[in-house]
Chain A
Amino acid sequence: MTRNIYMDDNDVYEFQAEDDDGDDDDDDDEFSIEFYNHKDNDSVIFQNDIFCEDELDQQVPLRHKGIMSKIVDCKYKEYGDEDKGILEDDLPIIEYSCLTAGNIYSLMLNRASKLQPVFNIPISDVIVLLQKYNWCEERMLEAYTDDAKAVLDSAGILIGENSELFSRLKTRDGFVCPICCESSETMKTFSLECGHEYCLTCYQHYISDKLNVGNIIKCMNCELALKNDDIDIIMGEGSSTKLMLSSIKGFIQKHSQYYKWCPFTDCKYVIHVKNTMSLTQLNRKYLSPYVICDNKHQFCFNCSLEVHAPCDCIVASFWVRKAQEESENLNWMLQNTKECPKCNVNIEKNGGCNHMTCRSCSYEFCWLCEGDWSTHKGSYYQCILYDEKKQNKKGDDEKKIKLHKYSYYYKLFNVHESSAQLDMKLGLTVEQKVKSLQDNLGISWIEGQFIPEAIEKIVNGRTVLKWSFAVAYYSDHSHNMYKILEQNQMELSKAVEELSELLEIKDPKQIMDRKLDFYNMSDYVEKRSNALVECGRELLIKGICIPRDS
């Protein structure tokens, strides 16, 4: 059942929030802990979940508060309704959920309470064990059935009858702490069942750094583990949560196949994909598993890049790598140098007139038109030969063409990237625009939503356009399909620019007058984006676009 559809993303996905009641099939997944079939308990835990407060920061839409283990199904909608013959009906579905480290910890706690009867040890000990086995209950259970005592010993868990009664915190007179060698009349000390007693201050020093590491914290003098309660006694209520979250972070990092941090700056969400089979299936079809976190950040689960359609992850990574390697040099060279028309040495003009003499081949030429200086005698700076010259240059050596080709696409890529960023900035001010519509013309909020929708379409459109240049760069330009791709690119960029023009309009009345244009143009941009994505994908499928290092 479709409960909510992400309005912001309707061009690529449709999201379904649905109850997933018992069809978990991740038994084969040795790391994954089944979170999802204990729905009711999860929700309860989440409500009392003090440590999630800071995780679920202000930006989280209200609808997510209190619903923790929401399952979000992501289904690829076929791109465009006009079937081109290569669309599959049974595209794999990526099932994923958006969690925070706090969420995962709550779910782990829940698992711990389920496991407690199996081990028959206090739940705090189960948590220590889970921590030791990096929250992988299969491995833990296996080791435990092999040799229970060894497992408990190595985790520093003492099975004692009276351990609950043991008084850990004392106030002592005349005690000299073996760590700091200080003593006072009212010295507070702490010790575990082992009797290694140290002053509270030393214990606090000892623990504070370790909270960020996430490993089990042990007694300062033996292998006995401090439990969460102990840590809270020493460091204050809630401190153990910090340790647990650090430990969970380690868990996430180790299982990056199933868990990915949202790559956006300061975003605290983690995307958990249960069925990694669907990822490979998607890959085979040259599609990428795009996911959206609850902060509405969309990224590729495979490579953690932004949405890079029509590229697949391989093309995208090639392109990104190339851009990293070459962009800095290239940017500088493009801005500051020209090549000598004769020997292709890059020349920087740092002053003087336009009469250039190449230092390497002594060729004299005009900086403006790059033509032979001798033809300029008497009519300086009238470089009418410019266009023709440019045409003639096409027969130059391959290396230069390659660099030119790359710089050409790279420039286009960059232009659209920066435009998309500007559009996104515009998106931030759009609330005010809508509000001004409300204030000035009495338009209802919902009626004004066509503006944010348009912004979203334009940003998506630019992203598609941007990445399509990476596909174009790696494609065989002689192929017919490439011409079609170029055509598609042109259509989309035209559409994007037109929509962009609409968005420039400031006068509220005029905006409302052209509301229909907004709708039509947004729709058109979306259609063109989808068409371009599909076209790019076809190039990939047919092997016309093959990424390679050059």
Chain B
Amino acid sequence: MTTLPKRIIKETERLVSDPVPGISAEPHEDNLRYFDVSIEGPQQSAYENGVFRLELFLPDEYPMEPPKVRFLTKIYHPNIDRLGRICLDVLKTNWSPALQIRTVLLSIQALLATPNPNDPLANDVAEDWIADEDAAIAKAKHWTALYACRPPPPSPTGPSETNN
């Protein structure tokens, strides 16, 4: 593997020394571009009290290309699909090299606080959301309790661990 760019080293150091409240991101030992991320559901949102696990990968072109982020925990959200893919402008067209891992994760946390059913990724969820918001929020809360509030699973690390 080529040496890790300074930028990634610095960002990783800062994520550890000065973590963002409610968010943790740790690189894998065998691949320093792959991060295990967990984000706490924002307060007063349908995802409150949930802890959502994500994976984050920095492609070779990072920071010219955005990081690739995906939810691993099941979540009921109009902008996140069944595979955990996220529809977020800063991960796509509005990415700028001046953004960082921490800003991206903060944006994702903000997305949890403000779902946007008018620009959906998961169409079925968005339809439910528009048709009956209260019911949708109740369902999101239910899913949070069901999937995001369990004690940590027996294998504490990400899925790539199981491959080895």
A residues lining the B interface (CB < 8 Å): 178-182, 196, 198, 202, 205-206, 209, 220-221
Contacts and interface: CB of A to CB of B under 8 A. Distances in A.
B63 interface: yes
A182 B7 CA distance: 8
B119 to A, nearest CB: 20
B97 interface: yes
Nearest to B93: A215
Contact of B64 (A178, A181, A182, A206): A206
15 contacts: A179-B7, A180-B5, A180-B6, A181-B5, A181-B7, A182-B6, A196-B98, A198-B97, A202-B97, A205-B64, A206-B97, A209-B64, A220-B96, A220-B97, A221-B98
Contact of B7 (A180, A206, A209, A220): A180
B10 interface: yes
Interface residue range, chain B: 10 to 19
Contacts of A206: 64, 97
B61 to A, nearest CB: 8
A220 B6 contact: no
Contacts of A220: 96-98
Interface of B: 5-7, 9-10, 63-64, 96-98
Given A205-B64, A206-B64, A209-B64, A179 B98 contact: yes
B94 to A, nearest CB: 10
Contacts of B64: 205-206, 209
Nearest to A202: B97
Contacts of A182: 6
Contacts of B96: 220-221
A302 B63 CA distance: 45
A202 B98 CA distance: 11
Contacts of B9: 181
B6 A178 contact: no
The 7 closest A-B pairs by CB, nearest first: A221-B98, A181-B6, A181-B7, A220-B98, A181-B10, A179-B97, A205-B64
A206 B62 CA distance: 11
Contacts of B98: 178-179, 196, 220-221
Contacts of B63: 179-180
Given A181-B7, A221-B96, 15 more contacts: A179-B97, A179-B98, A180-B5, A180-B6, A180-B63, A181-B5, A181-B10, A182-B6, A196-B98, A198-B97, A205-B64, A206-B64, A209-B64, A220-B98, A221-B98
A209 B10 CA distance: 25
Contacts of A196: 98
A221 B63 CA distance: 13
A385 B26 CA distance: 85
Nearest to A178: B98
A414 to B, nearest CB: 46
Contacts of B97: 179, 198, 202, 206, 220
Nearest to A207: B64
B32 to A, nearest CB: 15
B54 to A, nearest CB: 24
Nearest to B98: A221
A257 B5 CA distance: 48
Nearest to B9: A181
A531 to B, nearest CB: 57
Contacts of A178: 98
Contacts of A180: 5-7, 63
A284 B7 CA distance: 64
Contacts of A209: 64
A198 B10 CA distance: 16
Contacts of A205: 64
Contacts of B6: 180-182
Contacts of A202: 97
A209 B64 CA distance: 10
A196 B99 CA distance: 13
A37 B76 CA distance: 60
A198 B63 CA distance: 13
A202 B96 CA distance: 12
B59 to A, nearest CB: 13
B29 to A, nearest CB: 22
A155 to B, nearest CB: 16
A501 to B, nearest CB: 62
B27 to A, nearest CB: 16
B151 to A, nearest CB: 38
Nearest to A210: B64
A62 B96 CA distance: 47
Contacts of B7: 179-181
Nearest to B64: A205
A196 B96 CA distance: 13
Nearest to B96: A220
A181 B6 CA distance: 6
A178 B5 CA distance: 13
Nearest to B8: A181
A209 B97 CA distance: 13
A221 B98 CA distance: 6
A179 to B, nearest CB: 5
Nearest to B11: A181
Contacts of A221: 96, 98
A254 B93 CA distance: 20
A195 B6 CA distance: 23
A486 B6 CA distance: 77
B93 to A, nearest CB: 9
A221 B100 CA distance: 11
A206 B98 CA distance: 11
Pick the most buried of A181, A198, A205: most chain B CB atoms within 10 A of its CB: A181
B10 to A, nearest CB: 5
Nearest to A209: B64
Nearest to B65: A209
A361 B92 CA distance: 62
A196 B6 CA distance: 20
Contacts of B10: 181
A180 B96 CA distance: 13
A125 to B, nearest CB: 22
A208 to B, nearest CB: 9
A535 to B, nearest CB: 54
A182 B5 CA distance: 9
Contacts of A198: 97
Contacts of A181: 5-7, 9-10
